[in-house]
Amino acid sequence: WGTDGHAITCKIAQSRLSDTAAAAVKKLLPDYAQNDLSSVCSWADRVKFYLKWSSALHFADTPPKLCTFQYDRDCKDLNGVKDRCVVGAINNYTTQLLDYGKDTKYNLTQALLFLSHFMGDVHQPLHTGFTTDKGGNLIDVHWFTRKQNLHHVWDANIIETAEERFYDTNIDKYISAIQENITKTWSDEVAGWEACSSNKTTCPDIYASEGIKAACQWAYKDAPEDSVLEDDYFLSRLPIVSLRLAEGGVRLAATLNRIFQ
């Protein structure tokens, strides 16, 4: 996601933290964040240019057309490096944060900022897109009249167009609308989003598997090279974007609540 997508997931997440998790997050956040997780939710994007090893941790590309994610195939030993994808990164930073309150070799402030960012990214369907088109980056389209690539449409354009058209260009109004959906439209599903198999602290394999399925069903569908994407595409995909932002926020909170319980 772009800065708005990340700010949205982190705002939703911080509003759902238990008292214990909220206190730990407050302690770990840098002072300049003023206890606002969303203000540093895009930190991982600003540092990838000099922390070069981190740039591969924002996504988990999958083989074309299969529409499945498999850790051993898509993350485990990529180019001879272990866990080099967003799913591995979520597992690793979750494990680091479990050291909270102990003597640790890890920088837990960085671990919190990375985990909060990558939990958003794993929910962007094209961050689990195909290796062959770099998650849609190599697919040139038009977003209404503007030249764009399909990855950027999903990172930013759908969200920005929605904010302009429906929410007075006000991100807080869009966040409120998603929060209302969480408590009403999706209320029966939230416990399922939060759940994690066999006492695990976080379940990013599930989040990535859903992601590539959504990429095949919604992002790639009817969006080939040189297509013009306008109202038909925008209005049918916006509910998917809102759902993925909601799931990312709910699961970041659930993961942090399990880490710091």
If one asks whether residue 43 binds ligand DCM (CB under 6 A), the answer comes out as yes
List the one residue from 16, 58, 237, 244 that touches Zn ion (CB under 5 A): 58
* Contact window for ligand DCM (CB under 6 A) among 107-115, 163-171, 204-212, 236-244: 107-115
> Residue 69: CB partners within 8 Å, gap ≥ 6?
60, 62, 87, 128, 205, 208, 209, 211, 212
User: Considering only residues 9, 110, 116, 209, which one is a binding residue for ligand DCM as defined by CB under 6 A?
Assistant: 110
Position among 18, 26, 71, 83 found at the interface with ligand DCM (CB under 6 A): 83
Q: Tell me the residue type at 14.
A: Q
Q: What is the DSSP letter of 140?
A: E
- How far apart CA 80 and CA 211 sit, in angstroms, is 25
The amino acid occupying position 221 is K
Q: Which is nearer to ligand DCM, 43 or 186 (CB)?
A: 43
**Stretch of 20-28, 84-92, 138-146, 150-158 contacting Zn ion, by CB under 5 A:** 150-158
Strand, helix or coil for residue 79: coil
- Binding span for Zn ion by CB under 5 A among 30-38, 119-127, 216-224, 243-251: 119-127
* 155 binds Zn ion per the rule CB under 5 A: yes
CB-count burial class (<10 Å; 0-12, 13-18, 19+) for 5: buried
**Chain centroid to CA 137: how far?**
17
Query: Nearest-5° angle of CA 176, CA 177, CA 179?
Result: 60
Query: To the nearest whole angstrom, how small is the minimum distance from the Cβ of residue 48 to ligand DCM?
Result: 8
Does residue 3 interact with ligand DCM by CB under 6 A?
Answer: no
Q: Which two tokens stand for residue 166?
A: 């429906």
> Which residues in this chain contact Zn ion in the complex, by CB under 5 A?
58, 121, 155
> Which residues in this chain contact ligand DCM in the complex, by CB under 6 A?
30, 40, 43, 53, 57-59, 61, 81, 83-84, 92, 107, 109-110, 113, 126-127, 134-135, 137, 151, 155
